[in-house]
Amino acid sequence: MSKCFWIVLLLVATSLSSHVSVASTLGNVSAFSVSKSTVTDGDTVTLSWQKPPGYTEDLYYNIYVTKPGSNRWKFRSDYKWTSISRYMEGIGTHNFEVEVCNTNDECGPSSSIKSVEVIKPNPVRSLKASKYSVFEGEVVTLSWLKPSVFYANAKYNIYTQKPVGSRFTFKADYSWTSVRRYMSGVGTHRFFVEACNAKNMCSSVQELSVIVKPSPPNTPPSISPIFAQNTVANTAFTASFNVSDVETAANSLVVTATTDNLALIPNNNIELSGSGNSRFITITPANNMTGSTVITLTVTDSGGLVDSESFAANVMVINEDFTGTADAFDSTGSEWRYNANICESYRDVENSTYRKNTQECWRKYSFNHYTKDAVFHDKSNNKLVLNYNVKRIPLDLYDGRDTSYGVSHFEIEKLDSNGNPTFYSDNSPKYVWGEKVTNDGLLHCLPGEYDDNLETAFLITAGYATSNKSFLRGRVEVDVEYVGILKGAQPAIWLDSPRINPAIGQEIDIDEYVPSIYPHRKSMHFFNVHSHYSSNEVSHLSCYSFNYSAGCHSVSDHVAANGHSKNIGLYWGTDGTSGEGGTGDTYTLIRDGSNVVTYTQEALEIKTHQRNVTPNHAKLIFSIEVGKGFENNNRTKLCEIIKSSGYTERLNNNENVTLGSMIIDSVKVYSDNQLF
């Protein structure tokens, strides 16, 4: 043979050898998987795989499926990607295989088989009704959950069968998982729900029943009560309430409101809001008006039946519980201010060259001065506090020889054995005279009254607060506490008007507490209604209380020393309540919400020899007066009280000591006529 022949033969052999080697190295695809092993008919699955290990050349893939009841067939050939999606149809097992091929159409063996089970759609889950027994005309909500193993969007067919008639479809190809149904027809209503896929292959139905009863007779709606509402003048307020009805939906209930005092709260100033069961009423009082009214709310159902509730709306001059961060005392817009004659502090009085000066802060007919540091707004506890303070003042009297302070007497009424004031023949009152006691605005205790050997002087300061607003008639309610030692002091809550023009009831002392060291006066309270223009014979009406007698409010000496809290107040106006002397303008003391004693204006006029006079506007005042009305010899008893107070060590160290306090927790003033 020629040399060329052998060369050609060698090349052919080499080519064949190379071809056989490649074919023999093609293996199975790796990591062959399906995205879902079980699907419903109409779902889609994804087949994915990877190249055989170590092979970098371009490869192609043939993909086979064996469907239920049919032969294996190739549904993709020469496919160059490593994943493919397959729409699944036909109930049963679908087997998938993948073989890999090179560019010479040489293929390796088929992969392992991956199976996908195609099933009929599952039924809906948790089918339920909002109510299983309803009255005719009510609405029922059916709800359910999507079937399990249902990857495509499901559509639902809902059927119903009424008590009379055959089953029918009332929702088809429905996308949501709840539906409302108006119930008409007495008896049992059957409901059926099936789930369907995109090929309209549907599951078995799920079923439930709802019983419809005849509609009951219409019953009235109801409205919740509202408690009395308080606000201050020119201030709106909002209250909440609920409405309900068995037959009528809450949103369909109609609410209206009226007032019986159109001057205080016009109907146009009442706004109703809210929806469903929860409603609100917002009330805006007329400008600068105060007083009380009754608001009536009425709710009406769709059948015309109604229910009503009424509540009091009180528009006050003052509604103060001392809450919040703003200063309630002597600041811009505050309710309370100091006395017109006030000193800054006890130190200013102590350093004054003329302490007994009524134009500054000396309290005439008492032993105390009014100072700003004896009254304050306790913001941390939401209270207004008036203190009764005592400070020892060093003296240089040289046994009375130095008369630079002046020697005078105390103008204290001398009482007879029955406790009544005594008078000289010219009708001037008799007084008890002091013994070489200086008239310098201090309390002087002679040797033996505080110190066994020395005369001692004390500066007494106390609190005073008055409202910025005044009013003519109405009602006052005050929550007050007494703390510490108040013997010899007169804490008072009173109304006072300008002393111009004859006026009746222009000073009304709601509460005066003057406990005494004398046994028969250890618990005394006054309810005073008096005029500053009365005769000397009877200047006031008083209600004295010994041993807790009915008709007045009193506290024991023990309670006064250890703290006492109560609610006291006063009604005054033209309510026509019967009282001593007839009817007309009345003054009624209240304690803890109960009436205690009532006086009328006519009775007051008779007692005070006044006729046909008109009350003036008054301000509400809190004050502590020390030594006033404390029977004869006030100085001696006050010295004894200070000596036995338990504070002698601090007093002897020249500290300013608080013996007792009057603490105001809250104040409400209602008036039918306000002066701003």
Question: Taking a C-beta distance cutoff of 8 angstroms, is the pair 478, 664 a contact?
Answer: yes
pLDDT higher at 47 or 672:
47
615 burial class (0-12, 13-18, 19+ CB within 10 angstroms)?
buried
Question: Taking a C-beta distance cutoff of 8 angstroms, is the pair 96, 46 a contact?
Answer: no
Could you please state the CATH topology (level 3) that the domain comprising 222-317 is classified under.
Answer: Immunoglobulin-like (2.60.40)
Question: Is a pLDDT exceeding 50 seen at residue 233?
Answer: yes
Residue located via tokens 């893939």: 61
Question: Is a pLDDT exceeding 90 seen at residue 193?
Answer: yes
Encode 657-668: b = buried (16+ Cβ within 10 Å), e = exposed. bbbbbbbbbbbb
Q: Could you write out the DSSP letters of every residue in 209-268?
A: EEEEEPPPPP---EE-----EEEETT--EEEEEEEE-SSS-GGG-EEEEEES-TTTS-GG
Could you give the count of Cα atoms lying within 13 Å of 62 in the half-sphere of its Cβ? 15
pLDDT higher at 255 or 492:
255
Question: Is a pLDDT exceeding 90 seen at residue 46?
Answer: yes
Q: How far apart are CA 397 and CA 499, in angstroms?
A: 40
- Domain residue ranges in the chain: 29-119, 125-213, 222-317, 336-389+462-631+644-675
pLDDT given at position 525: 54
pLDDT given at position 518: 46
Give 463's contacts (C-beta < 8 A, 6+ positions apart).
Answer: 370, 374, 375, 385, 386, 387, 388, 622, 623, 624, 662
Helix (H) or strand (E) holding 588: strand 586-591
The two three-digit tokens of residue 527, written as one number: 């309810």
Mean pLDDT value of segment 326-352: 86
Question: Taking a C-beta distance cutoff of 8 angstroms, is the pair 319, 232 a contact?
Answer: yes
The two three-digit tokens of residue 368, written as one number: 């105390």
Question: 403, 386, 617: which is closest to 506 by C-alpha?
Answer: 617
Mean pLDDT value of segment 393-399: 59
Could you please state the CATH topology (level 3) that the domain comprising 336-389+462-631+644-675 is classified under.
Answer: Jelly Rolls (2.60.120)
pLDDT given at position 636: 77
Q: How far apart are CA 114 and CA 672, in angstroms?
A: 93
Q: How far apart are CA 528 and CA 251, in angstroms?
A: 56
Compute the CA torsion angle 396, 401, 403, 406 (nearest 10 deg).
100
Q: What is the pTM of this model?
A: 0.56
Residue located via tokens 């008055």: 466
Where do the H-state alpha helices sit in 275-378? Answer: 346-350
CA 494 to chain centroid, in Å, comes to 32
Question: 81, 80, 94: which is closest to 38 by C-alpha?
Answer: 94
Could you give the count of Cα atoms lying within 13 Å of 360 in the half-sphere of its Cβ? 19
pLDDT higher at 423 or 49:
49
Which residues lie across from 142 on neighbouring strands? 129, 179
pLDDT higher at 442 or 557:
442
Lowest mean pLDDT among 156-160, 284-288, 506-510: 506-510
pLDDT higher at 104 or 614:
104
pLDDT given at position 127: 95
Question: Is a pLDDT exceeding 80 seen at residue 594?
Answer: no
Question: 671, 545, 564, 548: which is closest to 618 by C-alpha?
Answer: 671
Q: How far apart are CA 249 and CA 181, in angstroms?
A: 16
Q: How far apart are CA 360 and CA 352, in angstroms?
A: 10
Question: Taking a C-beta distance cutoff of 8 angstroms, is the pair 104, 134 a contact?
Answer: no
One-letter amino acid for residue 185 of the chain: G
Mean pLDDT value of segment 347-354: 82
pLDDT given at position 359: 65
Could you read off the pLDDT of 532-547 as tens digits, one per residue? 444 433 334 444 443 3
Domains 29-119 and 125-213 share a fold: yes
Supply the DSSP symbol for 651: H
Question: 643, 280, 586: which is closest to 448 by C-alpha?
Answer: 643
Q: What is the CATH number of domain 125-213?
A: 2.60.40.10
Q: How far apart are CA 676 and CA 660, in angstroms?
A: 33
Q: What is the rounded end-to-end Cα distance, in angstroms, of the chain?
A: 140
pLDDT higher at 314 or 383:
383
% residues pLDDT > 70 (the chain) = 71
Q: How far apart are CA 609 and CA 538, in angstroms?
A: 9
130 burial class (0-12, 13-18, 19+ CB within 10 angstroms)?
middle
Q: Is residue 596 very low, low, confident or very high in pLDDT (cuts 50, 70, 90)?
A: low
Can you tell me whether residue 421 is helix, strand or coil? strand
Give 577's contacts (C-beta < 8 A, 6+ positions apart).
Answer: 583, 586, 588, 598, 600
The two three-digit tokens of residue 484, written as one number: 């510490």
Lowest mean pLDDT among 272-286, 603-617, 657-671: 603-617
Mean pLDDT of the chain: 78
pLDDT higher at 391 or 625:
391
pLDDT given at position 207: 95
Question: Is a pLDDT exceeding 50 seen at residue 583?
Answer: no
Q: Is residue 461 very low, low, confident or very high in pLDDT (cuts 50, 70, 90)?
A: very high
Pairing of strands 133-135, 206-213: parallel
Question: Is a pLDDT exceeding 80 seen at residue 67?
Answer: yes
Mean pLDDT value of segment 70-74: 93
In Å, how far are 438, 452, 540, 642 from 455, measured between CA atoms? 11, 8, 37, 14
Helix (H) or strand (E) holding 635: helix 634-643
Question: Is a pLDDT exceeding 50 seen at residue 24?
Answer: no
The two three-digit tokens of residue 511, written as one number: 């509460």
Mean pLDDT value of segment 80-89: 92
The two three-digit tokens of residue 320, written as one number: 């103060």
Question: Taking a C-beta distance cutoff of 8 angstroms, is the pair 140, 183 a contact?
Answer: yes
Phi, psi dihedral angles at 603 (to 5 degrees): -65, -40
pLDDT given at position 309: 96
Mean pLDDT value of segment 435-462: 80
Q: How far apart are CA 618 and CA 596, in angstroms?
A: 22
Phi, psi dihedral angles at 207 (to 5 degrees): -135, 145
Give the Cα-Cα-Cα angle 492, 493, 498 (nearest 5 degrees): 105
Supply the DSSP symbol for 602: H
Q: Is residue 424 very low, low, confident or very high in pLDDT (cuts 50, 70, 90)?
A: low
Pairing of strands 474-484, 656-671: antiparallel
Mean pLDDT value of segment 248-263: 94
Could you please state the CATH topology (level 3) that the domain comprising 29-119 is classified under.
Answer: Immunoglobulin-like (2.60.40)
Q: Is residue 60 very low, low, confident or very high in pLDDT (cuts 50, 70, 90)?
A: very high
One-letter amino acid for residue 435 of the chain: E
Could you read off the pLDDT of 633-660 as tens digits, one per residue? 567 778 888 999 999 999 999 999 999 9
Query: Order of strands across the sheet with 92-101?
Result: 38-40, 114-119, 92-101, 60-66, 72-79
% residues pLDDT > 90 (the chain) = 40
Q: Is residue 550 very low, low, confident or very high in pLDDT (cuts 50, 70, 90)?
A: very low
Lowest mean pLDDT among 304-318, 423-437, 485-499: 423-437
Mean pLDDT value of segment 96-125: 90
Question: Is a pLDDT exceeding 50 seen at residue 398?
Answer: no
Query: Order of strands across the sheet with 83-87?
Result: 30-34, 44-50, 83-87
The two three-digit tokens of residue 375, written as one number: 């009254």
Question: Is a pLDDT exceeding 60 seen at residue 514?
Answer: no
Q: How far apart are CA 280 and CA 628, in angstroms?
A: 52
pLDDT given at position 89: 85
Question: Is a pLDDT exceeding 80 seen at residue 1?
Answer: no
